[in-house]
């Protein structure tokens, strides 16, 4: 009896030791496996990104260069940069902390892609919610986007959000010659507002060819520059009266609300100087952002 117990105990201990060794080497084995598997999923995610996301989020997810899927023509990027330290670096990254999200970066991306933010121009993607992508395609593309996080992207000082001055007069001097490229291509204002040199060329929003004079009449105490500055940073604060298909609707405005995250101070100044015809801006009102 004593011997049986002793043998039993020894057998048990041996089993535990063997299991223990197996468990110790498990994380390493699992990691190699996950690495290879993720590699295949990331490749599939890259294809999903090219086919569905690059038109708005741009080549390499930088939101700098976007091409229309149908014609290949360069168009304004409507989405935010994704291959970007603000979204991917830090724990949590600043952009994700600012949204009050408490989960992982991967889940933030997967969740955003799944349900979209249709009210801000980001479509819903998961079939579950009426979008075109299967769950595994959403997973793969989220993995592909998360995978832009690397040491090079994240080694610099933490990115800072653009600090918009409360007065438009504090913007740098504008260069009107850069205006057309920014207005037509980089930010795609022309798709909604048309060509400022051609009356009636606007399809969605008001024509901006006379905004230098009309802008000054929109809000009491605002110069035209104050009004434009606020219109671009906070489209929903004031809804213009006349759009080409009837009264403009809102709030919320149908104009994208994320130019404050996408533009630099210089780009803002260049667009304003192109539309207002001045290189510096008069201000009598305050605009607070965000």
The nearest distance, CB 35 to ligand HEC, in angstroms, is 22
Tell whether residue 46 is a contact of ligand HEC (CB under 6 A). no
Applying CB under 6 A, among 255, 269, 276, 287 the residue interacting with ligand HEC is 255
Contacts of 208 (CB under 8 A, 6+ apart): 189, 193, 194, 196, 202, 275
Binding flags for ligand HEC, 11-40, as an x/- string (CB under 6 A): ------------------------------
Stretch that binds ligand HEC, among 20-28, 32-40, 150-158, 224-232 (CB under 6 A): 224-232
Instruction: Report how far residue 55's alpha carbon sits from residue 66's, in angstroms, rounded to the nearest whole number.
Output: 5
Tell whether residue 52 is a contact of ligand HEC (CB under 6 A). yes
Dihedral-angle region of residue 158 (phi above 0 means left; psi in -120 to 50 means alpha; beta otherwise): beta
Tell whether residue 232 is a contact of ligand HEC (CB under 6 A). yes
Tell whether residue 239 is a contact of ligand HEC (CB under 6 A). yes
The footprint of ligand HEC on residues 123-142 (CB under 6 A) is 123, 125, 141
Instruction: Report how far residue 193's alpha carbon sits from residue 195's, in angstroms, rounded to the nearest whole number.
Output: 7
Distance of CA 216 to the CA centre of its chain: 31
Instruction: Report how far residue 259's alpha carbon sits from residue 47's, in angstroms, rounded to the nearest whole number.
Output: 28
Tell whether residue 112 is a contact of ligand HEC (CB under 6 A). yes
**Token pair of 102 as six digits:** 């408490």
CA distances from residue 288 to 53, 153, 172, 174 in whole angstroms, order as listed: 32, 30, 17, 20
CB-based contact 238:166 (threshold 8 Å): no
Tell whether residue 87 is a contact of ligand HEC (CB under 6 A). yes
Applying CB under 6 A, among 29, 102, 117, 135 the residue interacting with ligand HEC is 117
**Token pair of 275 as six digits:** 């539309």
Interface residues with ligand HEC (CB under 6 A)?
52-53, 55-57, 78-80, 82, 87, 95, 109, 112-113, 117, 120-123, 125, 141, 145, 187-189, 191-193, 204-206, 208, 211, 214, 218, 228, 231-232, 235, 239-240, 243, 248, 250, 253-256, 258-259, 271
């Amino acid at each position: 009896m004593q011997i049986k117990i002793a043998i039993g105990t020894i057998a048990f201990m041996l089993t535990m030791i063997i299991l223990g060794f197996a468990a110790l080497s498990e994380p390493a084995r699992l990691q190699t496996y996950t690495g290879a598997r993720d590699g295949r999923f990331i490749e599939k995610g890259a294809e999903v990104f090219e086919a569905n996301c690059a038109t708005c989020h741009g080549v390499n997810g930088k939101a700098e260069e976007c091409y229309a899927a149908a014609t290949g023509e360069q168009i304004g990027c409507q989405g935010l940069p994704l291959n970007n330290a603000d979204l991917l670096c830090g724990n949590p990254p600043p952009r994700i902390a600012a949204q009050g999200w408490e989960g992982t970066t991967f889940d933030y991306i997967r969740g955003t892609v799944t349900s979209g933010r249709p009210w801000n121009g980001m479509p819903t993607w998961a079939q579950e919610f009426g979008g075109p992508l299967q769950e595994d395609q959403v997973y793969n593309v989220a993995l592909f986007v998360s995978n832009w996080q690397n040491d090079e992207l994240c080694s610099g000082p933490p990115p800072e959000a653009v600090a918009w001055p409360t007065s438009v007069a504090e913007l740098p001097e504008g260069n009107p010659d850069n205006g057309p490229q920014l207005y037509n291509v980089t930010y795609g204002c022309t798709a909604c507002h048309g060509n400022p040199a051609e009356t009636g060329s606007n399809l969605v929003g008001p024509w901006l060819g006379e905004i230098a004079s009309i802008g000054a009449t929109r809000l009491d105490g605002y110069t035209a520059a104050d009004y434009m500055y606020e219109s671009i940073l906070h489209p929903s604060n004031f809804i213009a009266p006349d759009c080409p298909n009837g009264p403009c609707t809102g709030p919320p405005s149908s104009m994208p609300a994320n130019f404050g995250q996408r533009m630099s101070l210089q780009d803002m100044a260049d667009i304003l100087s192109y539309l207002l015809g001045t290189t510096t801006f008069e201000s009598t009102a305050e605009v607070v952002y965000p």
